[in-house]
């Protein structure tokens, strides 16, 4: 096979459509050359293309399928929402198309045809994507109630400007409720309604959400989320991931980064502050969350009982 002419630079960064190729002056012969990977009718990609962000990978599939937007698991990933890890293998993109639009059957995409309001689609870097609240409702078709709660918590949490570059939540609890009210009879609606009763503002990670749910289901009081400890002089101290102020107990979920040297030193300093303030620190890790978080529940229950809590308090 004759070595093909190099593609224009703008087409070497990811998948591209026939329209993109024509605009860049690529001939029909070059478009059909075997060095290009076919991703369905009207989409090609150079075999040597390096790993690309999801927005670049999904863009051509939206462009060749009119009236579509990224949705469901694809939109959740674009918004940075927590979800169950998908099976490895050939990537499939989720697109949504308004109810009544023509059916599409293409490789690499799952097209959902359903009721879709104009204000349920937003632009992200020029890419149409379902809004966080609509994505949350759509994902109720695919996730467990606990996973929907974790995603809802992530939607409504108030981010830290210095860490994330924004200080506004992706949406409000009212926005989530509006989706439920609008889409009566939708698949997953029952689970979404159940999850709405459990969504809280303040959880900084899915692990914190799942720990909170496990504690409440085990009959313990609902903990507060990321509320600062205030001492007798009114001075504000650090914010435990979960806490029981009445019992002076702070619960810290330690992710994988807590094994780093710098974080270990910070954790030691935090433990010393707990002791100085007369609080009890309960540290929870991934291993405590196995087997329906039974170990985590036992650790927290033990601390509560020692602090004077009794079931029914």
Tokens read off for 88: 């490895």
For 243, list phi and psi in degrees, rounded to 5. Answer: -155, 155
- Based on the number of CB atoms within 10 Å of its own CB, is 85 exposed (0-12), middle (13-18) or buried (19 or more)? exposed
Is the pLDDT reported for residue 149 higher than 80?
Answer: yes
Position 65 confidence tier, pLDDT thresholds 50, 70, 90:
confident
Name the range with the highest mean pLDDT among 65-69, 96-100, 287-291: 287-291
pLDDT in tens, 208-230: 999 999 999 999 999 999 999 99
* 150-154, 166-170, 189-193: the lowest-pLDDT one: 166-170
- The structure's pTM equals 0.84
C-alpha 289/C-alpha 209 separation (Å) is: 12
* Beta carbons within 10 angstroms of residue 270's beta carbon: 16
- Based on the number of CB atoms within 10 Å of its own CB, is 261 exposed (0-12), middle (13-18) or buried (19 or more)? exposed
pLDDT in tens, 245-298: 999 999 999 876 555 656 778 888 889 999 999 999 999 999 999 999 999 999
List, as own/partner pairs, every contact residues 204-209 make where C-beta atoms lie below 8 angstroms and the sequence separation is at least 24, other chains included.
204/157, 204/241, 205/82, 205/241, 205/253, 205/255, 206/82, 206/147, 206/150, 206/151, 206/153, 206/154, 207/253, 207/255, 207/286, 207/289, 208/153, 208/241, 208/242, 208/253, 209/146, 209/149, 209/150, 209/153
Which pLDDT value is given to residue 101?
A: 63
């Amino acid at each position: 096979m004759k070595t093909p002419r190099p593609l224009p630079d703008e087409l070497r960064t990811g998948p591209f459509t026939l329209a993109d190729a024509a605009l860049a002056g690529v001939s029909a012969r070059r478009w059909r050359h075997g060095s290009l990977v076919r991703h369905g009718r009207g989409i090609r990609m150079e075999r040597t293309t390096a790993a690309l962000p999801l927005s670049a990978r999904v863009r051509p599939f939206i462009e060749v399928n009119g009236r579509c937007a990224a949705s469901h698991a694809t939109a959740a990933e674009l918004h940075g929402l927590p979800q169950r890890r998908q099976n490895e293998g050939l990537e499939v993109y989720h697109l949504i198309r308004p109810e009544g639009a023509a059916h599409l059957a293409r490789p690499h995409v799952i097209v959902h045809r359903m009721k879709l309001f104009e204000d349920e689609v937003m632009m992200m870097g020029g890419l149409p994507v379902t809004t966080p609240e609509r994505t949350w409702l759509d994902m109720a078709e695919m996730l467990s109630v606990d996973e929907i709660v974790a995603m809802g918590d992530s939607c409504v949490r108030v981010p830290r400007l210095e860490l994330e570059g924004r200080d506004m939540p992706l949406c409000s609890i009212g926005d989530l409720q509006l989706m439920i009210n609008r889409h009566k009879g939708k698949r997953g609606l029952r689970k979404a309604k159940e999850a709405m009763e459990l969504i809280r503002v303040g959880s900084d990670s899915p692990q914190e959400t799942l720990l909170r749910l496990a504690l409440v289901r085990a009959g313990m009081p609902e903990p507060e989320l990321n509320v600062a400890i205030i001492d007798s002089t009114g001075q504000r101290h650090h914010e435990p991931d979960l806490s029981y102020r009445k019992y002076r107990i702070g619960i810290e979920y330690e992710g994988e980064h807590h094994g780093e040297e710098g974080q270990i030193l910070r954790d030691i300093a935090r433990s010393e502050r707990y002791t100085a303030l007369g609080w009890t620190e309960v540290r929870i890790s991934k291993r405590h969350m196995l087997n329906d978080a039974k170990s985590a529940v036992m650790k927290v229950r033990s601390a509560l009982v020692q602090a004077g809590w009794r079931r029914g308090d």
